[in-house]
Amino acid sequence: MNILAVGAHPDDIEIFCGGTLAKCAARGDKIFCCTATNGNIGSATLPKDEIAAIRKKEAAKAASLVGAEYICLDFDDELFYEDVNARIKFINMVRHCQPDVILTHNPHDYNPDHELTSKIINDIEVMLPIAKIETEEPPCPKMPVIYYFETEKGLGFIPTDYVDITDHFETKKQMVLCHESQKQWMADNYAGFSVDDTFIEDMVITSQYRGMQCGVKYAEAFIRCNDAYRVTPYRMLP
């Protein structure tokens, strides 16, 4: 299958579904990682274009660990709004990847960029095969299936599906560690982080907690997109 993970910021994909991507890559799936924004506010000291360049490099390195193509749509971090341009950019990106499955944020999360990324993916699903919606890339032959990955710290998230990532946990950890520039930033801006622990600690706890729920050492959790988001009578599982 072609698997597309779409996150709002560089580091979301690795934290929330890196293990699943590693597992899919190991079985031969083709992986794509896309971030809507370039993370250009993720530093207290560097200019926006400099930190954006660093973060895109970090995300590309993390994607390379699972042989994935990395795509950045280059919207501004935390100043990301939907308009025609945003919608067309998303459609073109998904058509480029021709995914069977898309993994993206839960519609309800702690951050507006996360929620908008999820919303646009949900909104464009039915448009992907329609030829009259013109983009550089050709229309998708079918609509992909969407799964939502974990919310920040798992709050308000009741999974429908789990993926055992025990054998791929090290790869996930290495993917998250690629985001070197975010260690200090996360420690400075979010309660519960220290520079020593970095944001690895949160990821480890969540993976163990989801593992406990399904009887393995480490797991990632997902919610299958269903009619709770929007009435869609013709969605089929691959």
CA angle 2–72–109, rounded 5-degree value: 80
Pick between residue 98 and residue 198 the one whose CB is nearest to Zn ion: 198
Which stretch, 10-18, 68-76, 140-148, 164-172, contacts Zn ion (CB under 5 A)? 10-18
From residue 154, how far is each of 15, 28, 98, 200 by CA, in Å?
Answer: 12, 29, 29, 15
Q: Where are the beta strands (DSSP E) in 60-117?
A: 69-75, 101-104
The helix (run of H) or strand (run of E) holding residue 220 is strand 219-224
Which residues on adjacent β-strands are paired with residue 221?
162
Tokens of 54: 């660093």
In the list 3, 4, 5, 9, the residue contacting Zn ion (rule: CB under 5 A) is 9
Compute the least distance from the CB of residue 69 to Zn ion, in Å.
20
Distance CA(105)–CA(111), nearest Å, equals: 10
Pick between residue 20 and residue 35 the one whose CB is nearest to Zn ion: 35
Compute the least distance from the CB of residue 167 to Zn ion, in Å.
26
Binding to Zn ion in span 45-84, by CB under 5 A:
none
Pick between residue 171 and residue 182 the one whose CB is nearest to Zn ion: 182
Distance CA(127)–CA(58), nearest Å, equals: 31
Binding to Zn ion in span 183-202, by CB under 5 A:
none
In the list 3, 4, 10, 12, the residue contacting Zn ion (rule: CB under 5 A) is 12
Asked if residue 8 binds Zn ion (CB under 5 A), the reply is yes
Residues that contact Zn ion, how many (by CB under 5 A): 3
Compute the least distance from the CB of residue 128 to Zn ion, in Å.
24
Q: Which residues of this protein are in contact with Zn ion, per CB under 5 A?
A: 8-9, 12
